[in-house]
Chain A
C-alpha cells in the first residue's frame, strides 16, 4: 500500500516556463511534507518542506502548495532552468519518531 504517490513518472518542460510536480498521499496522519531533488550518481538533497498548518511555502523559485482536504501537494518551479533537470521525490511524515515515507519520484527534464 503506497501512502505517498507521484503519479507522473516524468515531466518535460521548456526553459523559463513553470514546472508543476504533483504528489498525493493517503495517510491523514501525515503532518509534514518534504521535497527532495536527486541528480544521477548523487544522493537526494532537501529542497523545500511544508507543515500541515500551512497551505503554501515559498523559497526563491520553489513553492510548495498543500491541499489537506484533497491530500494533495504540489511543487512549482518558476522559472524552470536546465539545472533543475533531476528526479524529484515527495516525502511525508507523521509526528513522533516515525520514518519518512517517499514517493517513487518524478523525473523532470527542462529543455533549453
Chain B
C-alpha cells in the first residue's frame, strides 16, 4: 500500500515553455503533498507543501509564480514549471502523506526535467 505515482518520468522542453508534472496517490488519500527538487549528487530540497484544497506553502527562495502547485483533490497534486529555463533542469520529486499512511513519506519515482 501507500503508492505514489509521478508522471512523466522524463520530459524535455524548450526554453520559455511550461511543463506540468503530476503526482497521484494511488491507494490512499494524501492530505498533504510535498514537492522537492534534487540536483545531481545532492540532497532533496523542499520546494513547497500543499494541503488539499488550500494554497501551497512555498519555502524561502522558491518562486511561487514560477512553480505553480495545485492540490485540487486528495489524490492529485500538480507542479507546473512556467516559462522554463535551462537552470530549471533538475530532478523533481513529490511525496505524500496521509492519515492512515504513518509518519514516513511515500515518494514518487521522480521526474527528470531537461530544458533546452
A and B: bona fide binding partners: no
Residues of A within 8 A of B (CB): none
Residues of B within 8 A of A (CB): none
